[in-house]
Amino acid sequence: MTVKKAVLPVAGLGTRFLPASKSIPKEMVTVVDRPVIDYVVQEAIAAGIEQIILVTHSSKRAIEDYFDSYYELEDTLQKKNKLELLETIQTIIPKGVDVVAVRQPQPLGLGHAVLCAKSVIGNEPFAVLLPDVLVKNTSQQNDLQQMIAHYSETHHSQIMVEQVPEQLVSQYGIVDIQGQQLEAGQSLQLKGIVEKPKVDEAPSSLAVVGRYVLPARVLSLLEQTKPGAGGEIQLTDAIAALMHEEFVDAYRMSGKTYDCGSKLGYLEAILSYGIDHPQLGKDFINLIQNSLK
């Protein structure tokens, strides 16, 4: 069974991005001319996802509005013959893809957020994309697409990882692959996974970076998962339980991540996406060069 559904947990209050996130969902801050969440949704669509499930909160309606149609604006653009702009906003979500939203009534953790999507996921395998992290791929095939291909072939869950500096392991889920070599673009069976370990207890410095391909079974395991690190229901703990029943692989990404939940990561994303922008890139590079003189 191939993977057609993706869960995007967007209910978090974004305290790392205050004061902006007091009234703007952190997923709606813009990188060049699109909100962060748009890049994550496009990544999912490029990987073959057909249903985006937002797990959201009442304070974050702007996200749902962004993916909805806006009749008055479309009508005005049509009448003013601004057809290029009209097309830009009408194709944010292409035909054949739909976006649905469910609410997370209480902030009980990432595992709980994923569980809130249970009735929409049903009995299918699904992807999870954490929208703080932008993944930029240079090759034609994106990492998520690669993970879905590995899943379809092997039916092993896929957890995307990348190397992080040792002092940062306590901020991430960390995987154990018993010291084996894992090349970019490849998957290897996991021996363990632990949420936010202490530096001296971490099994490696390969960190979970916010892309997962999981079977529906993990939802039943989440229902039995007790609060873990930080008193929250952790997706990592349900994945650790899943490992006792079936194969779970670590997939080493080949692209680059930008943590837009942090201020410096966000600035780095603006630089990178600005420089690569097809229309603005050249001028933007000049602008940076001039401002450094």
Residues composing the chain: 293
Closest CB 54 distance from ligand G1P, rounded Å:
16
Q: How far is the CB of 173 from ligand G1P (least distance, A)?
A: 3
Structure tokens given for 26:
């952190």
Other C-beta atoms within 10 Å of 50: how many? 15
Q: How far is CA 99 from the centre of its chain?
A: 15
- Residue with smaller CB distance to ligand G1P, 31 or 130: 130
Give the start-end residues of each E strand in 51-163. 51-56, 98-103, 126-129, 133-136, 157-163
User: Nearest residue to ligand G1P, using CB?
Assistant: 173
Of 93 and 195, the one with the shorter C-beta distance to ligand G1P is 195
- Please state the closest distance from residue 14 (CB atom) to ligand G1P, in A: 11
**CB closer to ligand G1P out of 41 and 235:** 235
- Contact criterion met (CB below 8 Å) for 10 and 53: no
Please state the closest distance from residue 237 (CB atom) to ligand G1P, in A: 9
Residues that bind ligand G1P (CB under 6 A): 110, 130, 133, 172-173, 195, 207-210, 234-236
Pairing of strands 5-9, 51-56: parallel
Burial class (CB in 10 A: 0-12, 13-18, 19+), 279: exposed
Using the structure block, give the residue that is written with the tokens 């995307």: 160
Q: Residue 38 or residue 237: which is nearer to ligand G1P going by CB?
A: 237
Q: Which is nearer to ligand G1P, 120 or 229 (CB)?
A: 229
CB of 193 to ligand G1P, least distance (A): 8
Using an 8 Å Cβ cutoff, are 3 and 127 in contact? yes
CB of 13 to ligand G1P, least distance (A): 12
Q: What does the alpha-carbon distance between residue 19 and residue 74 come to, in Å, rounded to a whole number?
A: 32
One-letter amino acid for residue 89 of the chain: I
Closest distance to ligand G1P from the beta carbon of 286 (Å): 34
Which residue, 54 or 235, has its beta carbon nearer to ligand G1P?
Answer: 235
Place of tokens 């993990």: 218
SS3 content of the chain, % helix, strand, coil (to 5): 40, 20, 35
**Shorter beta-carbon distance to ligand G1P: residue 25 or 274:** 25
